[in-house]
Amino acid sequence: MLQLLLGRSRWNYRDIAAEQECSERTVHRDRGVLQLAGIPVDHDEDDKCLRIRQDFRFPAFNVTEDEALGQGTAAAITKGPGLDINEGASLVKQKLAATSKEETAQILADAEELVTVLDLKLADHSRHRDIIRTIQWALIKRKQLVGTYRSPHEPNEVTLHLHPYRLCLVKQAWYLIARPATDDAVRTYRVARFKTLRMLDAKAEVPQDFDLKEYFGNAWAVYRGDRSFDVEIVFAREAASTVTEGIWHHTQKVHKNKDGSVTLTFQVDGLNEILRWILGWGSRAKVIQPSELCDMILAQLNQSLEGYRA
């Protein structure tokens, strides 16, 4: 209730009850609790809404300008599609604004308003916020999970009983790293493929020495292949500046050539994921090695040509 009242909307008893899915009697009780805690919640007779008295100030919290800028930026970033898995950053920003001096509150507001995240091309997780929140709490409380999962490799949905290890954002999507209760092998699950998920009261078994970076190894993204490859790609001069602006993999090395082109080298476990990335550069990228990757690219290009000729 306090979080709602700290926002800019006008809230009456009925609307608060509907938002919190409780009775108006509960809202009246919560108002009394806030009053007992020293937070004056008045009923505005003109606007027919509840308000925290304008002259009330929460105990001051010492926030530097850089900290305020960082929190306001975090609130803006977590509004971006794919990153908006919960409202925590914005709610913390509101609380800080309510307990800080006017100059700090203005920095918080300006930072959130003037920073925008656009077109990250992340997977749409707007329908999976409850599932992500369930995963987060299961990880924090070290509890097991059970749910239904739609795998592209299975004809039907499967029921999974999991010991969750980590939640991570990789490339364009959120993934759950977990071990099935019926298996010793740790696996990677794409969050958007869960249809249902709930936390159990059973304790999850998570190794203290589990290392996420070690688990992914030199995978290009999330799916680690069985073999390791040294990959060498030459990018044409017109793509050289663009491709070297990014760090595409933690093993990346760059060599600038005399003709303006650049050579990028990587060490990757598996070729399927880097294959798709290379194809996106079209004729501006040429694979020098390994030969297996060259053959895979030729096969993909020939398949595309056949599709256009059909």
Q: Could you give the CA distance from residue 169 to residue 163 in angstroms, rounded to a whole number?
A: 19
Higher pLDDT, 63 or 9: 63
User: Predicted confidence band at 59 (pLDDT cuts at 50, 70, 90)?
Assistant: low
Q: How far is the C-alpha of 259 from the C-alpha of 262, rounded, in Å?
A: 9
pLDDT value of residue 240: 97
Q: Token pair for residue 246?
A: 């990014």
pLDDT tens-digit map of 151-197: 888 889 999 999 999 999 998 899 999 999 999 999 999 999 999 99
Q: Residues 6 or more apart from 110 whose CB is under 8 A from it?
A: 72
Q: How many whole angstroms separate alpha carbon 106 and alpha carbon 79?
A: 19
pLDDT of 57 > 80? The answer is no
Q: Over 90: is that where the pLDDT of 1 sits? A: no
Asked if residue 60 has pLDDT above 80, the reply is no
* Assigned CATH topology for domain 228-309: Alpha-Beta Plaits (3.30.70)
* Domain segments of the chain as ranges: 2-52, 65-114, 129-216, 228-309
Q: Has residue 56 got a pLDDT over 70?
A: yes
- pTM beyond 0.85: the answer is no
pLDDT tens for each residue of 251-269: 999 999 999 999 999 999 9
- pLDDT tens digits for range 109-159: 898 888 888 877 888 888 888 999 999 999 999 999 999 999 888 889 999
Average pLDDT, the chain: 90
Helix (H, G, I), strand (E, B) or coil at 195: strand
Tens of pLDDT, residue by residue over 96-112, are: 887 778 888 899 889 88
Looking at residue 139, its pLDDT comes to 96
Residues in the chain: 310
Residue 61 pLDDT: 67
Q: Which two tokens stand for residue 44?
A: 């505005």
- Determine the CATH number of domain 129-216: 2.30.30.520
